Amino acid sequence: MSGSKLRWQCRRGMRELDELLLGYLEHYYEQAGDTEKVAFRSLLALSDPELVGYLLHKQTPAADFDLVIEHILDRTDA
């Protein structure tokens, strides 16, 4: 999947989500392993309410998303 398509998918129309997803894409995605890249692309396919729950309300995600969500949130906690 091209970088521009991923960038477009990170744009959710909610500033907080945009910042988290674009921040991960710009600063971590290229170094991530293949499994984490697949998880991130799958995460982008989720609905906005699911993403808000996982990333902003820190609800427990499906196990497939644990690592990528941890890395997305770690970038903002530093």
- pLDDT tens-digit series, residues 48-76: 999 999 998 888 988 899 999 999 998 65
C-alpha angle 15-21-24 in degrees, rounded to nearest 5: 135
Tell me the pLDDT of the chain averaged across its residues.
90
Q: Give the class (CATH, top level) of 3-77.
A: mainly alpha
pTM, rounded to two decimals: 0.87
**Cα separation of 29 and 72, whole Å?**
10
